[in-house]
Chains A and B, each alone.
Chain A
């Protein structure tokens, strides 16, 4: 129940509206929201991790009278899967943001390149629909790592995230390393990577958005399949799907255009 005020929960449309009146009313409200038309989202992605993460952020916000700024104590929201999705750092990002947007992963390929035998996974996010006048203040790529029972007890992996600079049909893509860290093989939970600079680059240069690449290596340098390492992909649970989230701040005042 996300109703802000249950006391007034009754129909506010007290008379039957004509079709034209209803369209005009909806157009007026959509113009306030800054939307050119009524969105028609796909139904299948509604229970993915991204909406749940965003709901965590929404629920963490204070809805008291003083809303000249995002101001709220962070209240972790525990999902049925356990640890909260949104973090304290996300709370700090939210304090400075006017808008937060999560992005659906458009593609996912587990690839293996021979003869080097390098496993990796690719991701793509469409940042071309960012409203004008919004600048990225922070962005994260999030992927869930499940607990794996066998083979890798007490071992560690090095997980690396790359920005794809250029693709080639006959060889590996040109990559730029964004982040790299060591994780326990037995680790479970959300892995969060800072992709702020990359996101800014993609917003300003949409044609250069060739996606991200993720790769894992064992301690002895052997390439590890993301699936084997427990990284959840498209075939995994909906509420653990990888996604990207970006925090924005308005750089200009939004004025309604003349109708």
Chain B
């Protein structure tokens, strides 16, 4: 059994994300488009490549029943059941990245040396319920 009073938990929606659905219906946890633009930051004088990259983001419901495509952990499945039985005790699991990819960035430093570096965990590859 779960203990503790329920708290109102409002989803913390990130601003500036390019969403691909304008409906109010609750969609299942999945990957959505999000493009990060170095050009929009005005950095094209020192970042050689890329101009930007598709970062994606995860959003959606992790509600009972969790379908297999939601990449839910066993704990998330259990938490979903508890929430379904008693919503005020525990929240629904979170929709979050389960796999992330790296990107490589090519840029100048102050001395006009050029750096090519890989940055891990920059792109959502898959979303899931945690």
Using a CB–CB cutoff of 8 Å, the interface residues on chain A facing chain B are 1-5, 7-15, 25-26, 29, 32-34, 38-43, 45-46, 50-51, 54-55, 57-58, 61, 63, 65-68, 70, 98-104, 126, 129
Q: Are B113 and A101 in contact (CB under 8 A)?
A: yes
Q: How far is the CA of A38 from the CA of B106 in the complex (A)?
A: 14
Contacts of B45-104 to chain A: CB distance below 8 A: 45-46, 48-54, 101-104
Using a CB–CB cutoff of 8 Å, the interface residues on chain B facing chain A are 15-18, 33-37, 40-41, 43, 45-46, 48-54, 101-119, 122-123, 125
A40 — nearest CB in chain B belongs to which residue? B110
Q: Are A101 and B50 in contact (CB under 8 A)?
A: no
Given the interface pairs A8-B33, A40-B46, the reply to whether A104 lies near B113 with Cβ below 8 Å is: yes
Q: Are B106 and A55 in contact (CB under 8 A)?
A: yes
Q: How far is the CA of A25 from the CA of B51 in the complex (A)?
A: 17
Q: Are A100 and B116 in contact (CB under 8 A)?
A: yes
Q: Are A54 and B105 in contact (CB under 8 A)?
A: no
> How far in angstroms is the closest Cβ of chain B from A225?
28
Given the interface pairs A9-B52, A15-B16, A39-B108, the reply to whether A98 lies near B113 with Cβ below 8 Å is: no
Q: Are B16 and A4 in contact (CB under 8 A)?
A: no
CB-CB under 8 A from B50, the residues of chain A are 2-4
Given the interface pairs A4-B53, A61-B104, the reply to whether A41 lies near B116 with Cβ below 8 Å is: no
Given the interface pairs A2-B51, A12-B52, the reply to whether A99 lies near B16 with Cβ below 8 Å is: no
Given the interface pairs A2-B49, A66-B101, the reply to whether A15 lies near B15 with Cβ below 8 Å is: yes
Q: Which 6 A-B pairs have the closest CB atoms?
A: A8-B35, A41-B108, A2-B49, A5-B54, A67-B102, A100-B116
Q: Are B52 and A102 in contact (CB under 8 A)?
A: no
CB-CB under 8 A from A14, the residues of chain B are 15-16, 18
CB-CB under 8 A from A42, the residues of chain B are 111-112
Q: Are B116 and A99 in contact (CB under 8 A)?
A: yes
Q: A101-B114, A129-B109 are in contact. List 10 more A-B contacts (CB 8 A).
A: A12-B16, A40-B110, A41-B109, A51-B114, A54-B48, A54-B106, A55-B106, A58-B116, A67-B104, A101-B116
CB-CB under 8 A from B54, the residues of chain A are 4-5, 7-8
Q: Are A103 and B53 in contact (CB under 8 A)?
A: no
Q: Are A46 and B108 in contact (CB under 8 A)?
A: yes
A22 — nearest CB in chain B belongs to which residue? B41
Q: Are B102 and A50 in contact (CB under 8 A)?
A: no
Choose among B40, B101, B113 the residue that contacts A67 (Cβ–Cβ < 8 A).
Answer: B101
CB-CB under 8 A from B122, the residues of chain A are 32
Q: Are A10 and B118 in contact (CB under 8 A)?
A: no
Among B17, B34, B123, max chain A CB count under 10 A is at B123
Q: Are A9 and B35 in contact (CB under 8 A)?
A: yes
Q: How far is the CA of A45 from the CA of B50 in the complex (A)?
A: 19
CB-CB under 8 A from B116, the residues of chain A are 54, 57-58, 99-101
CB-CB under 8 A from A43, the residues of chain B are 45
Q: Are A102 and B113 in contact (CB under 8 A)?
A: yes
A-B contact pairs, 29 of them (CB 8 A): A3-B50, A4-B53, A5-B35, A8-B33, A11-B37, A12-B40, A13-B41, A15-B16, A25-B41, A33-B105, A33-B107, A33-B117, A40-B110, A41-B45, A42-B112, A46-B112, A54-B116, A58-B48, A58-B49, A68-B101, A98-B117, A99-B115, A99-B117, A99-B118, A102-B114, A104-B111, A104-B112, A126-B111, A129-B111
CB-CB under 8 A from A99, the residues of chain B are 115-118
> How far in angstroms is the closest Cβ of chain A from B10?
20
B53 — nearest CB in chain A belongs to which residue? A4
Q: Are B51 and A3 in contact (CB under 8 A)?
A: yes
